[in-house]
Amino acid sequence: MKIKNITALFLILLSIWILLNNQFQIEVMIIGVILSFVISIIMGSRITVFNELKFSLGSVFYTIWYLFVFLAELVKSNLDVARRVLTPSLPINPGIIKTKTVLKSKMGRMILANSITLTPGTLTVDIEDDILYIHCIDVCCEDIDKATAAIVNKFEKILVKIYG
């Protein structure tokens, strides 16, 4: 468990270092490797968010697929909100509704909540175990199952494959 945390933290820190420096000289790389190694050894035991991470070909594939689904939803959400803002009558129908998720892991739930916040007219207000409270700019239905099908499912079915 600890080795996985340290490895994940090391890889993330190293890639941030590389992106920040943007050059591949040997001295820069050596400093980066030493620094991220030391930091991940010190902090590795305290950070628990990577505990649920799985390293496998499938999870990498679905992560990339998820990114594409997410970006498409992001563009759609922006166009939708832009249309509502520009319409003179301001066609909104807001409210806070409940939805349910089947995801168990903290990391999966966090990514789900963040994705919902960034997609069409929805904003996660609170989360309690498996109940998500979502503020919608245009409420489709107050029923918990219908709302779950409309908002949560499209992300959930991919996230289930990554985080189980």
How many Å is the Cα radius of gyration of the chain? 20
| Residue 139 engages other proteins in binding (rule: CB under 8 A) | yes
- 64 scored as a contact of other proteins (CB under 8 A): no
Query: Which one-letter DSSP state was computed for residue 149?
Result: I
Q: Is 56 in the site for other proteins (CB under 8 A)?
A: no
| Binding-residue total with other proteins (CB under 8 A) | 37
153 binds other proteins (CB under 8 A): no
The distance of closest approach from Cβ of residue 151 to other proteins in the complex, given in angstroms and rounded to an integer, is 13
Segment contacting other proteins by CB under 8 A, of 1-9, 48-56, 57-65, 73-81? 73-81
CA distances from 79 to 12, 14, 43, 112, 158 (A): 33, 36, 41, 21, 24
Q: With contact defined as beta carbons under 8 Å apart, do 95 and 139 qualify?
A: yes
Q: Phi/psi of residue 131, each to 5°?
A: -105, 125
C-alpha distances in Å from residue 84, one per residue of 11, 89, 135: 42, 9, 16
9, 13, 97, 162: residue in contact with other proteins (rule CB under 8 A): 97
Q: What residues make contact with other proteins under the rule CB under 8 A?
A: 16, 18-22, 74-75, 77-78, 81-82, 85-86, 90, 92-98, 113-115, 117-118, 121, 123-126, 133, 135, 137, 139, 142
